[in-house]
């Protein structure tokens, strides 16, 4: 039985490789959509960036969320890899 992870160009060798291919595309798509759809006139009115403390707090919250998502992907990959190795011996 063939699996998609055995394809040489699938980009699924490990999550770091996959993320390195997908992240630039996601960043550009997010930037374009944000520039087109976000209400930029409301940016100065919100309280998330009105002083340095709020900017730092917003940055730290985004960093914590991004780190949590990254490590969740890594853990799922490692669990799946270990499970597959156990059953394919």
Using the 8-state DSSP alphabet, how is residue 2 labeled?
-
Q: Are residues 54 and 78 in the same domain?
A: yes
Determine the structural domain holding residue 64 and report its residue range.
Answer: 43-89
Q: Determine contact, residues 47/54, Cβ cutoff 8 Å.
A: yes
65/28 same-domain check: no
Report residue 11's pLDDT band, with 50, 70 and 90 as the boundaries. Answer: low
User: 56 and 84: one domain?
Assistant: yes
83 and 70 co-located in one domain: yes
Q: Is the pTM of this model over 0.75?
A: no
Q: What is the total count of domains within the chain?
A: 2
| Pair 58, 26 in one domain | no
Q: What DSSP letter does each residue of 12-55 carry, written as one string? A: -SSHHHHHHHHHHHHHHHHHHHHHHHS-GGGTTTSSSSSSHHHH
Please give the structure tokens belonging to residue 42: 């409301």
pLDDT tens per residue, range 34-87: 999 988 888 778 888 888 999 999 999 999 999 998 899 888 888 888 887 766
Q: Is 73 exposed, middle or buried (0-12, 13-18, 19+ CB in 10 A)?
A: middle
The answer on 88 and 63 residing in a single domain is yes
- Within this chain, do residues 33 and 48 fall inside the same structural domain, yes or no? no
């Amino acid at each position: 039985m063939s699996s998609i992870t055995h394809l040489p160009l699938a980009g699924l060798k490990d999550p770091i490789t996959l993320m390195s291919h997908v992240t630039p595309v996601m960043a550009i798509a997010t930037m374009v959509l944000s520039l087109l759809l976000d209400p930029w006139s409301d940016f100065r009115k919100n309280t998330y960036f009105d002083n340095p403390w709020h900017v730092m707090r917003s940055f730290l919250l985004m960093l914590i969320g991004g780190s949590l998502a990254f490590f969740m992907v890594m853990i799922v990959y490692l669990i799946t890899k270990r499970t597959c190795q156990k059953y394919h011996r």
